[in-house]
Amino acid sequence: MARSLKKGPYVVAKLLKKIEGKKPATAKPIKTWARSSDISPEMVGFIFLVHNGKDFNEVLVTEEMVGHRLGEFSPTTKFTRHGGKIQKELEQKAKEAEIAAAQATKAPAADAKAPAAKK
């Protein structure tokens, strides 16, 4: 549910205080745990280190992000992959093809380095 227009956006005052008087190009990344804070236009260009529960993800704020929350850009879960048996087979074939290609490029290079036999 969206926040009331009467209340305005929820921006953590501490973040605005850290940004105040700094330029985005020269400022160090700002570490924060405030995932629920809205991104305001003053934050554009700054880099935030947003906590995801385990570590801090780097978020560079752009104009398209204004109005969204900081936490939206720091995922809390790690995506491993989709698929099961079929996906594993496809990955195995791709790995074998990569190894075969590496060996094919390695063989001509080894032939070029071998000295020619004398007659």
Q: From the CB of residue 32, how many other CB atoms can be counted at a distance below 10 Å? A: 19
Instruction: Identify whether residues 67 and 37 lie together within a single domain.
Output: yes
- The dihedral through the CA atoms of 68, 73, 74, 78 has a sign that is positive
pLDDT at 20: 92
Q: What is the largest CA-CA distance in the chain?
A: 95
- For the chain, the domain total comes to 2
pTM: 0.66
Tell me if 44 sits within 8 A of 64, measured CB to CB. no
Domain that holds residue 17: 13-73
- What is the arrangement of strands in the sheet containing 56-60, beginning at the earlier edge strand? 30-32, 47-51, 56-60
Q: What is the pLDDT along the chain (119 residues), one digit of tens a residue?
A: 678 889 988 999 999 999 999 999 899 999 999 999 999 999 999 999 999 999 999 999 999 999 999 999 999 998 887 778 888 888 899 999 999 998 888 877 666 665 655 55
